[in-house]
Structure 1
Amino acid sequence: MSITAGYDVGGAHLKVALAEEGRTVAVRQIPCPLWQGLAALDDAFATARDLTDRAQQHAVTMTGELCEAFPDRVTGVAEILDRMAQLTAQAPLRIWIGQRGMGSAEQARAHPLDVASTNFLASAALAGRQVANALIVDMGSTTTDIIPVVDGIPVPRGLSDGERLRSGELVYSGTTRTDASCVAKRAQLDGIIQRLAAGSFANMADVRRVLDTLPDDVDQHPTLDGRGKSQPESLERFARCFGRDAAEFSADVWRMSAAEIAAQQMDDIADAIQHVLATSKLPAAAPIIAAGVGAFEIAALAQRLGRQHVSFADIADADASCRDWATRCAPAVAVALLA
């Protein structure tokens, strides 16, 4: 039986999935601060060796070319391709080349901008094999992708990050790493609306920990102040967004403020979803396929919008042992199954 390892090389995480005979059998997300250099990718790959050594074939997609380690996207694609070719040298390597589908490393080097940040298309291509009409919403740690699939074909209006930001199909707002002051400029505290301090004090992982809605295993990066991830420590960071100490108000007051900021984030994503639905040819009954570490938020949003929701794990025929992570790491799973 042949096993394929799929990789989604991001700017903050390496996501690895194993596919065997058309089923997803293992998935892992590993912190990979690629903005610090390619050594971070080496370290993350080494952590996944117990998975990758099982593979007879490797498949790669990426978004990490956009990070600060590279002077431009073409250079980023080339350097990530070279490093992944070295790391997977013991078995054949396939690359996701956007609308061109899977190809060789040589073909990918010839079309770097089709490789750059088109991982969302891999998820959509796999979904189109299972569901003819759907809207994929992948809420990751940093961004949210919104991709319509019509008659089994992904039909985004934009392909690059720049085009998708313009079309509304990419929202630079995520479940954990997004700064709370980027989500909201104003919020209420004890019944009074005020401005927030834009000082990288707290992120949306802190907001969700204050609300006790964040799964324990999805926030894998250090906190903004280098302290721990307990609810009291998150509350201290969150209070700084209001220029306060946590002790100045009750936990209930702070939870109300956190709930408002979380709602502002999800309202923004809901507006983007409605915009994409309005500009696509999706039928009214088309479901939302929820993916990413924020899939739990997207499932709730689908219900609010009156749409059926489907977990990406169902699309990926994921084993029970890895269902949650198959949903959270959709592009890695997709390239493993498409290769």
Structure 2
Amino acid sequence: MGWDIGGAHLKAALTEDDRVIKVWQKVTPIWRDFDSLSAAVDEIEEEAGDVSVHLVTMTGEVSDHFPSRRTGVERIARVIAERLSGDIRLYGGAAGFLSLGDARSNIFDIASANWHASATLAASRIEEALFIDMGSTTTDLVPVSEKKVWAKGHTDRDRLASGELVYQGYTRTALMAVARDVPFVGRSIPVMNELFATMADVQRVIGVLDEADDLHEAADGGDKTIEGSRKRIARMVGMDAVDARDGAWEWLAHAFAEAQVRAIHDAALKVLSRDELTDDAPLVVAGAGRPVLKRLAARLDRGVVDFSDLIDCPSDLRDGICRAAPACALAVLANEKPA
């Protein structure tokens, strides 16, 4: 069983041999409710039944609930040790699978290594590709070829600098982090630096959001409807939804969506400029933000491969597998190489 422990969601995947047979996603806002992680782990473990091996990766250690990433890794590892039985291993990226006893001496291998698991699985299944996973908060971009992961960065700092980590997410990113100004009814209007709306509102208004990808409350705690999203987006430019026609708000939402695609496009160009991939290399896309990544692939004039296409699974699990790519990758990789 693979586990991916984020700051907002817990994702898990169960395999038999190397076939994924079940996937979970639970809301775990550990920045304000660390106990939600323990509760979610218990729920999943009970539903999964007897599991012989657990493989764990995390990004939740960066949550501001913890005074440091070291503390975050140690406390998350402690929760796992207390609540799971069987053989438990932590994923350390290039360092491979590590025992719980190795956690303290391998903190920065373990911290935020989930992207490496997904990219490693992709590298083992496809000749070459730019692997991209767009989750609710961030986007990972990693070239893979010759059965290898060609990442320049391994820490969050280095990955941000290399373009391999972009803090743009499909649903939870605040609109003030997407654009400084936006076109609206023929004028350019500055965007308010307030958490009035998120990208979930944008995706909902432009009609591409699967509500299963928006598990957290809206910025104002209000209704997660098109009308509610229009109201929140309007506030970003100092207006109310009644101040313009519905079509104007849809165009404004498209402007935010375009700004986000451009940010990820710029990062992709930075990564591709290293000339490690041929012009024929496709994008392997994962995460809730696959609709955005497919738009990006069209701009880059590259083919698209869904991450779930690389994994043996029932057809009805394909969306869940793409959302939980690191957890699925760990569970499958554990069957292919000694843990």
TM-score (norm. length: structure 2): 0.96
Aligned length: 334
Once the 2 structures are TM-superposed, how far is the Cα of residue 280 of structure 1 from its aligned partner? 4.2
Quote the Cα distance in structure 2 between the aligned partners of 1:233 and 1:124: 37
Conserved 8 A contact 1:289-1:309:
yes
Mapping of 1:139-178 within 5 angstroms? 139-178=134-173
Match status 1:98 vs 2:93 = yes
Quote the Cα distance in structure 2 between the aligned partners of 1:71 and 1:313: 36
Match status 1:221 vs 2:216 = yes
CA 38–52 in structure 1, closer or farther in 2 if over 3 Å, else same: farther
The AA in structure 1 aligned to 2:34 is L
The correspondence for 2:196, drawn from 170, 188, 201, is 201
The AA in structure 2 aligned to 1:180 is L
Once the 2 structures are TM-superposed, how far is the Cα of residue 37 of structure 1 from its aligned partner? 4.3
Conserved 8 A contact 1:295-1:328:
no
Quote the Cα distance in structure 1 between the aligned partners of 2:249 and 2:164: 32
Quote the Cα distance in structure 2 between the aligned partners of 1:191 and 1:49: 54
The correspondence for 1:87, drawn from 83, 90, 93, is 83
Once the 2 structures are TM-superposed, how far is the Cα of residue 296 of structure 1 from its aligned partner? 2.0
Quote the Cα distance in structure 1 between the aligned partners of 2:225 and 2:237: 19
The correspondence for 1:40, drawn from 36, 39, 45, is 36
Greater mean deviation of Cα atoms: 33-42 or 286-295: 33-42
Conserved 8 A contact 1:173-1:265:
yes
Once the 2 structures are TM-superposed, how far is the Cα of residue 29 of structure 1 from its aligned partner? 1.1
Match status 1:63 vs 2:59 = yes
Conserved 8 A contact 1:148-1:280:
no
Once the 2 structures are TM-superposed, how far is the Cα of residue 50 of structure 1 from its aligned partner? 4.3
TM-score (norm. length: structure 1): 0.96
Once the 2 structures are TM-superposed, how far is the Cα of residue 197 of structure 1 from its aligned partner? 1.0
SS at match of 2:103: helix
SS at match of 2:20: strand
Quote the Cα distance in structure 2 between the aligned partners of 1:112 and 1:280: 32
SS at match of 1:29: strand
Quote the Cα distance in structure 1 between the aligned partners of 2:34 and 2:243: 44
Quote the Cα distance in structure 1 between the aligned partners of 2:44 and 2:213: 17
The AA in structure 2 aligned to 1:26 is K
Query: What are the ranges of 5 or more consecutive residues in structure 2 without an aligned counterpart?
Result: 335-339
CA 329–280 in structure 1, closer or farther in 2 if over 3 Å, else same: farther
Conserved 8 A contact 1:177-1:205:
yes
Once the 2 structures are TM-superposed, how far is the Cα of residue 243 of structure 1 from its aligned partner? 0.6
The AA in structure 2 aligned to 1:251 is D
Query: What are the ranges of 5 or more consecutive residues in structure 1 without an aligned counterpart?
Result: none
Once the 2 structures are TM-superposed, how far is the Cα of residue 54 of structure 1 from its aligned partner? 4.0
Conserved 8 A contact 2:6-2:58:
yes
Conserved 8 A contact 2:205-2:253:
yes
The correspondence for 1:113, drawn from 71, 90, 108, is 108
The AA in structure 2 aligned to 1:338 is L
Structure 2 residue aligned with 1:246: 241
The correspondence for 1:305, drawn from 300, 304, 312, is 300
Once the 2 structures are TM-superposed, how far is the Cα of residue 284 of structure 1 from its aligned partner? 1.5
SS at match of 2:2: strand
Conserved 8 A contact 1:236-1:245:
yes
Once the 2 structures are TM-superposed, how far is the Cα of residue 318 of structure 1 from its aligned partner? 2.5
Quote the Cα distance in structure 2 between the aligned partners of 1:179 and 1:280: 33
Quote the Cα distance in structure 2 between the aligned partners of 1:75 and 1:51: 29
Considering only aligned residues, what root-mean-square deviation do their CA atoms show, in Å?
A: 1.2
Quote the Cα distance in structure 2 between the aligned partners of 1:318 and 1:239: 42
